[in-house]
Structures are given as structure tokens and as C-alpha cells.
A and B are shown apart, each in its own frame.
Chain A
Amino acid sequence: MHGFEIASYVQEHSVDVLQVEEGSLYPALQRMLLSGWLTGDWGRTEEHRRARYYRLTAAGRKALQRERQRYERVTQAIARILQPA
């Protein structure tokens, strides 16, 4: 996916709840590039315009899994706190 596609994806799937400035996506992408989680390759869109397509690397997939587990632990903990049994 290229930058705009990622932004649109986030927007659609969050049903417009997450309304951040779209530009802030780009520094995040740079950070992940630097950590080696992503690769960015130039390609063509359907309308034949130049765009950079990002793809997860193996290290990126691992990092994603790690972050997801951590996130789930945290949300579960929060959920337990908010819904006393």
C-alpha cells in the first residue's frame, strides 16, 4: 500500500473515529523504515502515478506481533479494571 491508501484504510476501518492529521503518518513510516520493519519501493498506481509502496519485512511482522501482544495485555488489564467482576 502507498501512503494515501494506508491513511484511507485507517480512516475507513476505524469508521472515522480516528481522525488524526494525515501528515503524521509519514514520520511514523520513516521510523519504521529506519528500524527495518518496512521496505519502501516505488511503483505505479492504477492511474499510472508514481507512488511509494510499503511492505512489512519479517522483522516488521515480528515487531507487529510483539506490539499486538503487548497491546492486548494492556487492553485486557484495562478492561478488567473497568468491568469489575
Chain B
Amino acid sequence: MLGWLSMAMSWRRLAHLLRRRRFDRELAEEMRLHVDLRAEKFERQGLTAREAQIEARRRFGNAISVHEISREIWFSRWLADAGQDLRFAARLFRRSPGFTFVAALTLALGIGAGTAVFSVVSGVLLRPLPYEDPGRLLSILDRGVRDENLAKLFVSYADFDAFRRNARGFENIAGVTWAAGSSRILSARTILAAPATTTFFRTLGVRPMLGRTFNERDDSGGCSLVLSHRFWRSILAGDPAVVGSTLTLDHRPCTVLGVMPRGFAFYPEAAQMWMLIGADFQPRREDVILFIVARLKKDVMLAQVRSEIEAIHAALHKADGREPDIVPAVTPLQDDFTWLASRNLRTTLLLLSGAVAFLILIACVNVANLLLGRAAVRHRELAIRTALGCGRARVIRQTFTEAALLSLVSAGFGTLLAWAAVRYFQVVNPIELPVGADVRIDAGALTFGVLLSLCTAMLFGLAPALRLARVDLVAGLKQGARITFQQGAWMPRSPRWWPRALVAGEVAVSVLLVTGAWLLMNSVLKMQSAKLGYDPERLLATTLAFPPDRYTRDDEKIGFYRDALQRLTEFPGVADAALTSKLPPYGGGNQQLDIEGRPNDGSQLHNVGGQAISPGYFRVMKVPLLRGRIFSDHDGRESQPVAIVNDALARTYFPGKNPLGSRLRLSDGTNKTPWLTVVGVAGNERHTSLLHEMAWEASPVVMRPIAQEPRPSFSVLVRQRDSQPNVAEAIGRTLGSLDPAVPVAEMDTVRLLIAKPLAYPRFRAALLSAFACCALVLAAVGLNGVLAQSVAQRTQEFGVRMAVGARPLDLAKLVATESGVPVLSGLLAGIGASLLLGRLFGSLLYEVQPSDPTSLLGTAVTMLAAAAVAIAVPVRRAATIDPLVALRND
């Protein structure tokens, strides 16, 4: 009752605070009316107007001071009380620094982690992309209908042209491509110049920092470039006169039109400049290379455009048999960017947000428990205060002030923690984020942190406040120890029931987090040690690319391949070397397979990959040959076209049959290879999957001798004799010295390449493990606190028990079993919840089920070990109680 009254009063005060100006105006008006009415009365009694005014004022007294006093009634007492409460709270915390430290640290951990995760989530999912009015931007890609593996494909230039001409729902539509390979600029520096359409920058609505971007006239002119800020800054040293100057790109003079501002980025991320599709880079109309970005007209709905695009696409492909398989996918650009960064980015962030919410919850419960514990100790103090006339409302306010002070101090430390975490994130870059995503502690994150701390204060302040307000005066002033002695341990509403339920909750939540961490760790470990079908040890790889105007004839390319292999095998420390058109961890493809003698009824999937290799490939990779023969140097340009298929292809397309001698052909819709005779079957190499992050996939592959299908860009695989770290660079230099015009990318170990797709899973597992550790420690601290308090309160009881013959071991057992119920029930509840929630995060697991017995067992053992540590100290205290001291206590 009193509590409500005080709350109502605070509420009126608060409402008042917000309308202070109105309060002043109204009070002044009221008093003026009073004086006027009094003056009128005097006038009616015969005074002159002036005399009446003066007399009325005299009767009223000092209006200004009355006003002041009225105003103070609303605030001064309240403020003074608040100040007193604050001082008292600060003194209290100073007096028990250990308690304060643990509580503040706990909360700071929760608030810091919460703020840091929020800033990542807001940077990736909530903050709009750094383009003008990004809500109206869409991406258009192709999507396979029948085959799940045909996730998203680039669009052909012909399709783009049709969309551009016929679609009416767009203000602007543009394309950009990844397909252009690297270019050389400024004395053999290798960079990526991404070809884009003239409309690219206009569609995104981003203005250049210097000069201008593309316009329609550039299409007919010579080569022109728009530079990224990064390139302009680092390579050109921020030269302000760069606009209009000429850069030589792949031996062609190109005019620099402008420089983009610092924050501008788009896929492909590595692009350092943009050139024009058409003028500088001529794709065939059928090449499927374009990423289309389009801006919706105002007031046009996404669904409208979607059906429009689908209609155009259907009309265009009615004839070519591609149409039933592939439809256009129109998605908001932000969704697509998130997807491009990682298939599981959204799920990951969801998982982290959930985990951090649980962590904050545990932190709150812990601090609430700590405060409750102190409340029991302060029972008597408060009883005395109440007896001396301190209102219950004041007691509640006092406890809330303590909670608020604690949470504000923690919010300060938490923000520092979050800032450090985000700084780490920015510097180390543990995972790939979508371009344009900017993770930082900004006003939004700070507001979030402060709100979070206030909410937590409410949460953990409420329980003790209500408990303290119910102080029973008479019982409280009697012997403090006897109260708790009389109340049953498991009676609802009894003070000893509450903390235990809270501890059970803490245990359940930390079990949930520990199970999650365990499952993710297991997935990463399993994925890391998975057999991929080849041996990645001491294997180095790099990629080379011919400039567009060199090595145009096939025999020139083949000559270069031969020289390169020759040099490599002669190199000291190199055991073997081979060439390939594809490097781990990538593989698979979306070409269509035709088999001679089998009519293509359209049911064949576009899921076969093509790969060109040198004869030594299987030897270098240590991929087993299952049937037939490997390629030899005699499989050349003039001899019969041959192919080796992998086991996956043999099983899918030749089930139960021997594929050797069959003839097959690959086509990507426009290009067809000649008929190839199968001469061998090789083991599967497992590669990353486009759709599923947590998977190694073995998909059908057709391999051809690189001498029969020379490629302008190819990779080199080198098996080292023993792992000497410095060899990699020397090998790179050797390759570079073959022809200075052919750029060589950096040499990587294949181990490193395979580890790249594991960056996300690893990051996730590490972060969740960190959260789980925190949760475990917090739960243990909570359990320890509750037990220690219970032992302290039952000292007398234990003394009596000992005096009548209980042995120390009996008492230890008593305390241990007391903790058993909350720990075990929490453990069971947590495991149950993890089984339920585990289904949601199946896409984050690799060959591990949420019900994985090892993980669950590991969790249980971890939890019980933590609980054992937590209860060890109180159990020892109980067992070593001296009955004499305990009984003499009062």
C-alpha cells in the first residue's frame, strides 16, 4: 500500500517535471486572478483602482516567494532524499568492496557483451546499406528451380539487356561483374578492375569524391576508370590532380574520370577500380556473369517488379530449354549482401543475440541473489530503521537506488569492455562481413547499453526491494538467527526457496550455452579433420593469369605450362608439381552433362563441374585412381579428347555400370565441349558447398587434360619435400621470372585455403564458448553465494546437530544434498531446452546432432565439475563448525 502510494507520488512528480513550464505559467495565472478578484472587491468597497491593487497585493504577500515555495514542494525534498540515498548506497558499497566488485564485474560482463553483440547486429542487419535510399535497391540473380544446389547464379548480359529495355518498375538498373580476372597497372601491380555498366553509380546514388562517374557518352569513348578511395589513397598517394590523367591498364591507356568517397564499397569486395562493360570489357551476350542491382521506382512494390521480371525472363527463354530450370530471383539488396558474406550470417547473429541475452539474464539473477543475500543480513538493520519511522516506500527507494547505482557503474565498465571488443573486431577482422557493414560503438549502441543497464537494474533490484519491504518488525527485532531457523527450507515464499529456484534457472541457462558451445566446437573439430579425399599436407598453391593480349594461341599457352612445370620440378625442395583450373576448397559446378546414346529429356541436372588438370595432378594431390588410367603427356591437342570422371559422377550417372569408354559432353547452355571418351575414374575430392556452410560436398566432376582445354588463368599445386617455410616465396619468384608480364598471386598453403571456410564456424564456436564459460562461472558464483549464505544462517542449527552427535561428514552431506536439487533440476531443464532449441540451429552443425551423447555428457560433466567447485567451500565450512562457538553465538 505504502509502496504504491510512493510510486503514485513519484509518478505525479515525474509528470510534473515534464510540464514544469506549464506549472509555472498556471500558478502565476492563478495567483494573478486571486489578486485581481481581491482588488475588484476592494474597488466595489470604494477604493480607487490603484489603491485597490496595492491593498490586494499587500494582503496576498510576497508572490515571488510563494511561487518559489510551491515549486520547491514538488522537488526539493525529493532531490534531497535522492542525494541521501545515493550517498548511503555509495557508503554501503565502499564498506563491502568484495561484494561490490563481484556484482559490478558480473553486470559489466553482461552489459559489455550485450552492447558489443548489439553493435555487430546493428552494423550488419539493422543499419541500412551506405547507398542513397537503400530500401529501394534490389538485386536480381538467377535461381535454380529443381536443383537445390543451383542456388544463385549470375545473370547473362542478354537477360540484363532485356530487363533494362522492358522492365518499367525500375528507376535505374545496373550490372557489375566479378568475371574480369586481375589486371596489371603501374609497373606490374596486380589489381582487380570490376567492369560495370554506365548506370552503376547512378543506381546506387553515390556521388564521387573527385571528378565524375560514368555517363552514357563514355560507352562510345575509350577506356575510362573510376577509382576506389583505397586505391587512390594508397597507390596514388592521394594525388588530387588524378582526374583526367591517364593510367595504363593491361597496356591500354585509360582515362581516370573520378574517385569514389572513402566509405564506398560493393561486391566484388576486392575491386580497386571500376571500368565499363562494353567499352573496356566485352562479354559475349550469353556469358552468365552479371550481378544486377536495380532501384525501384517510388511507390512500386517488390512483388510487382518480381512478376514483371519473371514475365520478361519467361518470354526470353521460352525457346532455349533453360527456362523451366532457372527463374530470376529478385531480393532486397541488403538480404543478398548478408547472404553473400555467409550463408549462416543471419543465423549466427541470431544465435549470438540469444546467447548474450541468456548471459545478461544470468548476470541479473546473480546480482539479484547477491542483493537478496545481503537483504537477509540487513534484515535487522531495516527492521530498526522501520521501527524508527522510516517509511517502507523509503526502504524500497533505497534498494532501488542501490541497484541503479550499481548498474550505472557497471554500465560504464561494460561500455569500455564493449568498446574493446568492437575495436578487436575491427582490427583483427575474424570473419567476413557484408560490404558496407560498419561495426562500431555508436550512439545507438550506447543508448542500447544504457537502456540495458536500466532494465537490468529493474530486474535485479525488484526482488530484494519487495523482500525488504515485507520486513516483519517484531520478528526482525528478535534474534535474527531464529527467523530463518523456523521457516521450512522448501516452503514457497520462504526466503530460502527463492534463491534456489534462481540458481536452478542459472544452471539451466548455462547448461544450454555450454551444450551449444560443445556442439559447435565438435562441429568445427570434425569439419577440420574430415577426410577430403586428398592430402593437404605440405601442399602449396598459387594462381597465374595470362594478360588478355598475350598467349592467345593454344600452343603458346601449352608451351608456358610446360616451362612452368619444368622449372618447378627442378626447384630444390619441391617433390612434385601440377596444374589445375580449380583449387581447394572450391569445387563442383553447374554445367549440364550429355551422355552419348542417352537422349537428354531435360531431367539431367545442371550440377556437373568441369576441371582442367595436368597429368601429374592425381600424384601431387594424392587422389586415388579407382579405374582406368590417368592422363599422360600424349593426351594433347591432336589426340582423342579424353576425360576422367570422379566417383560421384560415376555413381550418379552410371549406377552399376562401368563408365570407361563411354562418351560424354559438358555444356553451360552456350558452349559445348567436344565428345570426351572416359578413360578413368578417380576418387572424390570434397569441397565447400555454396548453400551449406557446414558441409564438405562431393559433387560430380569431369576432368580434362589442360593440354586439351588450355585456360588463360590457372593454378599451380606444389608438393614440398619437407615443410620449409621460406620456399613458398622463392617458388613464387621463380614462376614470376618465367615471364614478367604474367602476374603471379601470392603463394598459400592448401591447409590455409581449406581453413578459410572454417573462419565463420570457428569464430562462432569461440564466441559461444566464451559466453558459455562466463555463464558457467557466474552460475558457480551464484550457487556458491546461496550455499555460503545458507550455511551462515544455519550455523546455530549445525552446532546443535553436532552437539547431539552428528559427524562432520553428515553435515557436509546435508549441505551437498541441499545444493543437489537445484543443480540437477537445472541440468535436466537445460538439456531438455537444448534439445528443443538445437533444431533451430541445425545448419550450424557438422555431423553432430543436438542429441549427440558425447556433447551432452561433456556438458553434464562440465556443469557438475563447476558445481562441485562451487559447493566445496560452503561444505567445508559446514563440516568444520565448532559446536561450542556456534552455540555461544547469541
Chain A residues within CB distance 8 Å of chain B: 2-4, 7, 21-24, 26-27, 30-31, 33-36, 42, 49-52
Contacts and interface: CB of A to CB of B under 8 A. Distances in A.
B8 A36 contact: yes
Contact of A34 (B31, B60, B73): B73
Query: Chain B contact residues (Cβ within 8 angstroms of A): what range?
Result: 20 to 34
Nearest to B33: A51
Contact of A7 (B9, B34, B62): B34
B38 interface: yes
Contacts of A30: 70, 73-74
B27 A26 contact: yes
20 contacts: A2-B33, A3-B30, A4-B37, A7-B34, A21-B61, A23-B31, A23-B60, A23-B63, A24-B61, A24-B66, A26-B27, A26-B31, A26-B66, A26-B67, A27-B69, A30-B70, A30-B74, A33-B12, A49-B33, A51-B33
A3 B29 CA distance: 11
Contacts of A21: 59-62
B70 A4 contact: no
B676 to A, nearest CB: 92
Given A3-B31, A34-B9, 20 more contacts: A4-B33, A4-B34, A4-B37, A4-B38, A7-B34, A24-B61, A26-B27, A26-B30, A26-B31, A26-B67, A27-B70, A27-B73, A31-B73, A35-B9, A36-B8, A36-B9, A49-B33, A51-B30, A52-B26, A52-B30
B161 to A, nearest CB: 71
Contacts of B8: 36
A74 to B, nearest CB: 20
A68 to B, nearest CB: 21
A18 B259 CA distance: 85
B33 A34 contact: no
Nearest to B56: A22
B13 interface: yes
Interface string B46-58: 0000000000000
Contacts of B62: 21, 23
B34 A3 contact: yes
Q: Which of B30, B31, B59, B61 has the most CB of A within 10 A?
A: B30
Give the interface centre of A24, A27, A31, A33 by most chain B CB atoms within 10 Å: A27
A2 B29 CA distance: 12
Contacts of A51: 30, 33
A52 B70 CA distance: 15
Contacts of A49: 33
B59 A22 contact: yes
Interface in B459-478: none
B887 to A, nearest CB: 49
A50 B25 CA distance: 13
Contacts of B69: 27
Contacts of A22: 34, 38, 59-61
Contacts of B31: 3, 23, 26
A26 B26 CA distance: 12
Interface string B19-37: 0000000110111011001
B70 A26 contact: yes
Given A21-B61, A36-B8, A50 B33 contact: yes
Nearest to B61: A21
A24 B888 CA distance: 61
A29 to B, nearest CB: 8
A2 B66 CA distance: 17
A4 B60 CA distance: 10
The 5 closest A-B pairs by CB, nearest first: A21-B61, A23-B61, A23-B66, A27-B69, A4-B37
A3 B5 CA distance: 26
Nearest to B74: A34
B70 A34 contact: no
B30 A34 contact: no
Nearest to A7: B34
A2 B74 CA distance: 20
A49 B60 CA distance: 19
A6 to B, nearest CB: 10
Contacts of A36: 5, 8-9, 12
A33 B33 CA distance: 19
Residue among A4, A7, A31 with most chain B CB within 10 A:
A4
Nearest to A22: B60
A50 B33 CA distance: 8
B849 to A, nearest CB: 61
A7 B41 CA distance: 13
Interface in B611-649: none
Contacts of B37: 4
A3 B60 CA distance: 12
A42 B33 CA distance: 13
Nearest to B13: A34
A49 B210 CA distance: 67
A72 to B, nearest CB: 24
Contacts of B34: 3-4, 7, 22
Contacts of A27: 66, 69-70, 73
Interface in B171-208: none
Contacts of B5: 36
Contacts of A35: 9
Interface in B57-89: 59-63, 66-67, 69-70, 73-74
Contacts of A34: 9, 12-13, 73-74
A53 to B, nearest CB: 11
Contacts of B13: 34
A20 to B, nearest CB: 8
A60 B310 CA distance: 72
Contacts of B67: 26
A33 B74 CA distance: 10
A61 to B, nearest CB: 16
A50 B29 contact: yes
A85 to B, nearest CB: 36
The residue among A21, A30, A42 with the most chain B CB atoms within 10 A of its own CB is: A30
B6 to A, nearest CB: 11
B550 to A, nearest CB: 89
B33 A3 contact: yes
Contacts of A50: 29, 33
A51 B66 CA distance: 18
A7 B60 CA distance: 10
Nearest to A21: B61
A52 B26 CA distance: 9
A7 B35 CA distance: 11
Contacts of B60: 21-23
B37 to A, nearest CB: 4
A51 B73 CA distance: 21
B12 to A, nearest CB: 6
Nearest to A31: B73
A32 to B, nearest CB: 10
A82 to B, nearest CB: 31
Contacts of A2: 30, 33
